Amino acid sequence: MDTAAVGIGTLVIGGGFLIAFVFGLVAAKTNFCTMGALSDIVNMGHWGRMRMWMLTIAVAVAGTTLLSYTGQVDLAKSVPQRPMLPWLSLLAGGLIFGVGMTLSGGCANKNLIRVGGGSVRAFVVLTFLAIASYMTLKGLFGQWRVDLLDPVRIDLGGLGWSDQGLGTALARATGMAAKPALLAAGGAVALALLVFALMDKRFRSNGAQIVGALVMGVLVTAGWYVTGHLGYGENPDTLETVYFATNTRTLESLSFVAPLAYSLELLMLWTDKSLKLSFGIASVVGVIAGSAAYALATKKFRWEGFASMTDLRNQLTGAVLMGFGGVTALGCTIGQGLSGVSTLAIGSFIAVAGIVAGCVATLRYILWQAERE
């Protein structure tokens, strides 16, 4: 391959690792966890970590909207923005992922952070998650997904939509030009989330969570820029303009369920020269490395195993559900909850609603079961 192409690919992979390294470090320091945030609300009525998640989304939406508005990236080519809306897959996958992450005590990102902190339990969970994810991409679970869920969809392209973004929806509904509609939709979402996050005095006084949310929101935006701008160039072999070093062959930002499957595939088929490092795989390694750096620097690194056979059963069941649900929903709490939502894709909001509903329902069931006992 041409030296310039190798250089672009290396830049994308290196950028993915660096972005995820900082993300993992910050998430470990601030105890950033979507499942934990929902658990805090259900069990204690405490909204601190949820406000942090909302602020992170607000920053990611604002940054990504500006990237798109200024023409730095073409979000219409991203997976979340495709005009075909598989709403049943997104909703069902989100629900299943939400149940799975609750049984496992955290999503894919949280388990990556735990691995960096010395959790053997989380490593086992991620292994089973990766297997289930791969089976949903290319194996038995994928057949079920393709036959039963994916056919139920809405073809927005056939209705004249260029993508499924809220900006496009606003433009279609009001007759506004595309760019002003994008700016209006992105600004409204970001502002609403910002106001909700900062309206609580106790949260406003938590500098670590606020700074952490700002940094992580910027990192999601940086992911789109690295893959969608720096990683966009001419392939010297075909003379086509392509996105380098991404598994989806288009622009990406942080997401961890499918990249875990691709990481497993690369390790298992290392001698297959058609398989290469990618932005997603580098991101998986980066989060672990960032979390490990924090754990070692603060002397919080601890080996951790399973508490009991019941714990093992719940963790592995949750891992399989997360693998299937995350691929079916086209992303996890990070892939859809941060990266997807940052593009204002309607499908991402559907997937996130499913994840939240599945998680809250499972938390309430666990609480009810504990009260009965």
What is the spatial distance between Cα 208 and Cα 192, in angstroms, rounded to a whole number? 22
Q: List, in sequence order, every residue forming a beta bridge with 221; answer none if it has no partner.
A: none
Tell me which residue of 252, 250, 247 sits closest to 266, measured CA to CA: 247
Residue whose tokens read 């995350």: 326
85-103 burial, b at 16+ Cβ within 10 Å, e below that, comes to bbbbbbbbbbbbbbbbbbb
Is the pLDDT at 3 greater than 70, yes or no?
no
Mapping DSSP onto H, E and C, the string for the chain reads CCHHHHHHHHHHHHHHHHHHHHHHHHHHHHCCCHHHHHHHHHHHCCCHHHHHHHHHHHHHHHHHHHHHHCCCCCHHHCCCCCCEECHHHHHHHHHHHHHHHHHCCCCHHHHHHHHHCCEHHHHHHHHHHHHHHHHHHHCHHHHHHHHHHCCCCEECHHHCCCCCEHHHHHHHHHCCCHHHHHHHHHHHHHHHHHHHHHCCHHHHCCHHHHHHHHHHHHHHHHHHHHHHHHCEEECCCCCCEEECCCCCCCCCCCCCHHHHHHHHHHHHCCCCCCCCCCHHHHHHHHHHHHHHHHHHHCCCCCCECCCCHHHHHHHHHHHHHHHHHHHHCCCCCCHHHHHHHHCCEHHHHHHHHHHHHHHHHHHHHHHHHHHHC
Least confidently predicted of 13-27, 126-140, 224-238: 224-238
Confidence band of 365 (pLDDT split at 50, 70, 90): very high
Report the pLDDT value the prediction gives residue 326, as an integer from 0 to 100. Answer: 98
**Mean pLDDT, all residues of the chain:** 95
Contact assessment for residue 129 and residue 111, using Cβ atoms and an 8 Å cutoff: yes
Is the pLDDT at 129 greater than 70, yes or no?
yes
- 86-108: per-residue pLDDT in tens? 999 999 999 999 999 999 999 99
What is the spatial distance between Cα 200 and Cα 204, in angstroms, rounded to a whole number? 6
Would you call 234 exposed, middle or buried from its count of C-beta atoms within 10 A (0-12, 13-18, 19+)?
middle
Report the pLDDT value the prediction gives residue 338, as an integer from 0 to 100. Answer: 98
- 239-253: per-residue pLDDT in tens? 688 999 999 999 999
What is the spatial distance between Cα 195 and Cα 146, in angstroms, rounded to a whole number? 40
- 14-69: per-residue pLDDT in tens? 999 999 999 999 999 999 999 999 999 999 999 999 999 999 999 999 999 999 99
Report the pLDDT value the prediction gives residue 125, as an integer from 0 to 100. Answer: 97
Is the pLDDT at 4 greater than 90, yes or no?
no
Report the pLDDT value the prediction gives residue 146, as an integer from 0 to 100. Answer: 95
Is the pLDDT at 78 greater than 80, yes or no?
yes
Q: What are phi and psi of 85, to 5 degrees?
A: -105, 95
What is the phi-psi region of residue 253: left when phi exceeds 0, alpha when psi lies from -120 to 50, beta otherwise? beta
Report the pLDDT value the prediction gives residue 237, as an integer from 0 to 100. Answer: 72
- 349-364: per-residue pLDDT in tens? 999 999 999 999 999 9
The domain limits of the chain are 3-372
What is the spatial distance between Cα 25 and Cα 12, in angstroms, rounded to a whole number? 20
Confidence band of 1 (pLDDT split at 50, 70, 90): low
Report the pLDDT value the prediction gives residue 372, as an integer from 0 to 100. Answer: 86
What is the spatial distance between Cα 353 and Cα 330, in angstroms, rounded to a whole number? 13
Report the pLDDT value the prediction gives residue 170, as an integer from 0 to 100. Answer: 97
What is the spatial distance between Cα 177 and Cα 170, in angstroms, rounded to a whole number? 9
- 251-280: per-residue pLDDT in tens? 999 999 999 999 999 999 999 999 999 999
Calculate mean pLDDT across residues 125-140: 97
Is the pLDDT at 341 greater than 60, yes or no?
yes
- 166-215: per-residue pLDDT in tens? 999 999 999 999 999 999 999 999 999 999 999 999 999 999 999 999 99
The C-alpha angle 38, 40, 46, rounded to 5 degrees, equals: 115
Calculate mean pLDDT across residues 342-347: 98
Q: What is the pTM of this model?
A: 0.96
Tell me which residue of 348, 347, 254, 340 sits closest to 75, measured CA to CA: 340
Calculate mean pLDDT across residues 220-239: 90
Report the pLDDT value the prediction gives residue 258, as an integer from 0 to 100. Answer: 97
Number of C-beta neighbours around residue 236 at 10 A:
13
C-alpha dihedral, 362 to 200 to 335 to 245, nearest 10°: -160
Confidence band of 151 (pLDDT split at 50, 70, 90): very high
Calculate mean pLDDT across residues 132-141: 96
What is the spatial distance between Cα 88 and Cα 253, in angstroms, rounded to a whole number? 23
